[in-house]
Amino acid sequence: MMRTQVGIIGAGPAGLMLSHLLALEGISSVVLEAHTRDYVEQRIRAGLMEHFSVELLRQCGVGARMDREGLVHHGIVLRFGGRSHRIPVTDLTGKSMMIYGQHEVVKDLIAARLAAGGQILFEAEAVGIDELHGERPRIRFRQDGREQQIECDIIAGCDGFHGICRPALPLGALTVYDKIYPFGWLGILADVAPSNDELVYANHERGYALLTMRSPSVSRLYLQCAPDEDADAWTDEAIWAELRTRLADDSGFVLQSGPIRQKGVTAMRSYVVEPLRHGRLFLLGDAAHIVPPTGAKGMNLAFADVVVLSRALIDWYRKRNGDGLDSYSATALRRVWKAERFSWWLTSLMHRFEHATPFERRMQAAELDYVTSSRAAMTTLAENYAGLPLG
């Protein structure tokens, strides 16, 4: 049986960052990851980092490549009724954001852990967790066809939405809050320079569209679609034509097209479980909560959970003070719910709801007008977009 202080399930942003922050304080961990290193390093997902996440990467010594290759952003554009309205986030909040792909963050964290002699076991799938109420909880995992076990003090469930930790808990241990939206996003990754320096969020009568990017030569674009849309039913030409229609404005904006490297459909969901602790198991990131990607909060929330839990663990190991562990769930959830609210609100503001009444459509139009004409409303948007403080 292997032994470590903190057994971490999942080598996504949450698991890797937790392992890194604990190692900096001399706390040992083993990270189990079901997939290969190559798979997790190539998985294209989030791309927008809040001010807090950028600072976190810098402070813990893994921000150098981000600072060289990332794109600093100071605002976003809301486009509706054919007109563009810029929200100057930095002017309103003093904070900026960074475009830097989640897979790049994952690469940087894996490199840092391995260089420091950290243990990440790839192709090691956790299959069960035991003794959560004892002092020596255990993770059972399968690697190379063999079942093995790790004994630890604490288990960190960083295994994403489809992991095993949350479902392993007894019925009734968690309260689930769930909302499924009646649409999805058809997303593409294209080898073409972004057609705008900042993100463009478009509310169009045919549905929402988003222009974002991953680098100076790679664009990421999304179209609101049916939740069960077949991505393969869309030709590349049809995708570009639809994007062009929805992203058009009266200033002569031109959308540049290029080869589509990847396309897929993402379902839209808001989901939270409470509490985030069960005995010696702690849930972090997507294992505990999901937001629709409109607010670009998922990876940032995962990092916020990690910071709260790592501080609690440091206190527990250093001072034998368990207060932080006891309050982890309540502390993390305060930020989670505010990010859930913002993501739900921005989703409601920007999408076309097929069954909305004429009155509801007028309300959405009035809110768009308000949010782009009132400094107070713009500041509220900007403050949430750049990221709220921890706690």
Query: Footprint of ligand FAD on this chain (CB under 6 A)?
Result: 9-15, 32-35, 40, 45-48, 102, 125-126, 158-160, 163-164, 187, 266, 285-286, 293, 296-300, 302
Residue 181 annotated to the active site: no
Active-site annotation holder among 208, 297, 317, 351: 297
- CB-count burial class (<10 Å; 0-12, 13-18, 19+) for 362: exposed
Give the shortest CB-192-to-ligand FAD separation in angstroms: 19
Which of 73, 280 has the CB closer to ligand FAD?
73
Give the shortest CB-13-to-ligand FAD separation in angstroms: 4
Helical packing angle, 298-319 and 323-350, nearest 10°: 170
Give the shortest CB-276-to-ligand FAD separation in angstroms: 12
Which of 161, 369 has the CB closer to ligand FAD?
161
Which of 125, 369 has the CB closer to ligand FAD?
125
Active-site annotation holder among 181, 208, 328, 385: 385
Give the shortest CB-387-to-ligand FAD separation in angstroms: 10
Find out whether 104 and 215 touch, Cβ atoms under 8 Å. Answer: no
- Helix boundaries (H) for the chain: 13-24, 37-42, 51-59, 64-69, 89-93, 102-115, 165-168, 236-247, 298-319, 323-350, 358-371, 375-386
Which of 231, 248 has the CB closer to ligand FAD?
231
Neighbours of 246 (CB within 10 A): 23
Residue 177 annotated to the active site: no
Which of 149, 369 has the CB closer to ligand FAD?
149
Return the SS3 of 80. Answer: strand
Backbone angles phi, psi at 201, to 5 degrees: -105, 115
Active-site annotation holder among 51, 73, 278, 351: 73
Active-site annotation holder among 51, 293, 317, 328: 293
Find out whether 149 and 1 touch, Cβ atoms under 8 Å. Answer: yes
Buried b (16+ CB within 10 A) or exposed e, 289-314: bbbbbbbbbbbbbbbbbbbbbbbbbb
Query: Can you tell me which residue has the tokens 């299959």?
Result: 127
Which of 156, 368 has the CB closer to ligand FAD?
156
Active-site annotation holder among 100, 181, 201, 328: 201
Q: Which residues contact 57 (CB under 8 A, 6 or more apart)?
A: 49, 63, 66, 105, 108
Give the shortest CB-305-to-ligand FAD separation in angstroms: 8
Give the shortest CB-255-to-ligand FAD separation in angstroms: 20
Measured at the CA of 163, the angle between CA 340 and CA 214, to 5 degrees, comes to 60
Residue 297 annotated to the active site: yes
- Helix boundaries (H) for 144-235: 165-168
Task: Give the catalytic positions in this structure.
Answer: 73, 201, 293, 297, 385
